[in-house]
Amino acid sequence: MKKLLIVTLIITAVLFACEKDDDDPDPCNCLSTYGTTAHLGMNETCTCGGTGCNCTEQTATVGGITVRKQAGVTVQQMNDAVANINTAYGYLGNLEKTNFADKVKAIHVVTGNSVILEGTTLKVGIGADGNVIGEYIIFTILA
């Protein structure tokens, strides 16, 4: 009886530890939630082992610079932000692209609407459109 109680308590603890809000997919059900791959943010991990799932960080590149997303940014928000960054980057001439690559070594997609350069990391908010990003690049980074 004591062993049954201990096993029941352990199973209950595991289930509660993995419980999430309805808006947040259950990482313990990785395969049914994400398909074959969970696209994680920086420093995120599939808790509970991500059963039946290949958990990898979602990344992209713009002009050879790696783009990563902050934890809490959705896959769609990351995709939209990368499209906006690519649009802004596409307006740059060759010399401007070289200068940009000299000053920006990483791009992080973050929550919010702002665009800011911290050291050599360009942080782009999910709410920033291509025009806002382009203006920041031209008037702040390349000025």
How does pLDDT run across 70-108, given as a tens digit for each residue? 988 988 999 999 999 999 999 999 999 999 999 999 999
How does residue 18 score in pLDDT terms, banded at 50, 70 and 90? very low
Q: How many domains does the chain have?
A: 2
Query: Do 137 and 75 fall into the same domain?
Result: yes
Tell me: do 85 and 131 sit in the same domain: yes
Structure tokens at 66: 């790696």
**Same domain for 127 and 74:** yes
Spell out the residues 6+ positions from residue 93 whose beta carbon is closer than 8 angstroms to its own.
Answer: none
For residue 29, what pLDDT is reported?
Answer: 58
Let me know whether 30 and 82 are in one domain: no
Question: Would the pTM of this model clear 0.85, i.e. be above it?
Answer: no
Instruction: Find the domain containing 66 and state its range.
Output: 59-141
In what order do the strands lie in the sheet containing 106-110?
A: 59-62, 65-69, 106-110, 121-125, 115-118
- pLDDT at residue 36, rounded to an integer: 60
